Chains A and B, each alone.
Chain A
Amino acid sequence: MNALDLRSVSKSFGGKRVLDDMSFSVPEHCVFGFVGTNGAGKTTTMKMILGLLKADCGEIDVYGERVSFGATKTNRLIGYLPDVPEFYGYMRPKQYLGLCAEIAGLDEKSAQPRIAELLDLVGLSDANRKIGGFSRGMKQRLGVAQALIGDPKLLICDEPTSALDPVGRKEILDILRKIKAKTTVVFSTHILSDVERICDRVAVLNKGKIVLESAMGDLKLQEKSTSFTFEFNREIATDEILRVLRENNLEPIKYETAEHTIESLFLGVAK
Chain B
Amino acid sequence: MLNELGQYLPFLIPIAVIQLALTVAAVIHILRHDTYRFGNRALWLVVSICVNVIGPILYFSIGKGED
CB-CB < 8 A to B4: which residues of A? Answer: none
Q: List which A88-104 residues lie within 8 A (CB) of chain B.
A: 89-90
Distance between A25 CB and nearest chain B CB, rounded to angstroms = 40
Residue in B closest to A133 when the chains form the complex, CB atoms: B67
CB-CB < 8 A to B66: which residues of A? Answer: 89, 132
Q: Does A170 contact B (CB under 8 A)?
A: no
Main DSSP-derived SS at the B contact region: loop
Q: Does A190 contact B (CB under 8 A)?
A: no
Report the interface size for chain B: residues with CB under 8 A from the other chain.
2
Report Cα–Cα, A126/B66, bound state, in Å: 23
Q: Does A73 contact B (CB under 8 A)?
A: no
Distance between B54 CB and nearest chain A CB, rounded to angstroms = 24
Distance between A86 CB and nearest chain B CB, rounded to angstroms = 10
0/1 string, B20-59, CB within 8 A of A gives 1: 0000000000000000000000000000000000000000
CB-CB < 8 A to A90: which residues of B? Answer: 67
Report Cα–Cα, A84/B67, bound state, in Å: 17
Distance between B20 CB and nearest chain A CB, rounded to angstroms = 25
Distance between A89 CB and nearest chain B CB, rounded to angstroms = 4
Distance between B47 CB and nearest chain A CB, rounded to angstroms = 23
Residue in B closest to A132 when the chains form the complex, CB atoms: B67
0/1 string, A156-187, CB within 8 A of B gives 1: 00000000000000000000000000000000
Q: List which A120-166 residues lie within 8 A (CB) of chain B.
A: 130, 132-133
Report Cα–Cα, A132/B67, bound state, in Å: 5
Residue in B closest to A89 when the chains form the complex, CB atoms: B67
Residue in B closest to A131 when the chains form the complex, CB atoms: B67
Report Cα–Cα, A90/B65, bound state, in Å: 12
Distance between B34 CB and nearest chain A CB, rounded to angstroms = 14
Report Cα–Cα, A132/B66, bound state, in Å: 7
Distance between B37 CB and nearest chain A CB, rounded to angstroms = 13
Residue in A closest to B66 when the chains form the complex, CB atoms: A89
Report Cα–Cα, A89/B67, bound state, in Å: 6
CB-CB < 8 A to B67: which residues of A? Answer: 89-90, 130, 132-133
Distance between B29 CB and nearest chain A CB, rounded to angstroms = 13
CB-CB < 8 A to A133: which residues of B? Answer: 67
Distance between B25 CB and nearest chain A CB, rounded to angstroms = 16
Report Cα–Cα, A106/B67, bound state, in Å: 29
Distance between B33 CB and nearest chain A CB, rounded to angstroms = 10
Distance between A90 CB and nearest chain B CB, rounded to angstroms = 6
Distance between B53 CB and nearest chain A CB, rounded to angstroms = 24
Distance between A130 CB and nearest chain B CB, rounded to angstroms = 6
Report Cα–Cα, A70/B12, bound state, in Å: 54
Distance between B39 CB and nearest chain A CB, rounded to angstroms = 20
Q: Which 7 A-B pairs have the closest CB atoms?
A: A132-B67, A89-B67, A89-B66, A132-B66, A130-B67, A90-B67, A133-B67
Q: List 7 A-B contacts (CB under 8 A).
A: A89-B66, A89-B67, A90-B67, A130-B67, A132-B66, A132-B67, A133-B67
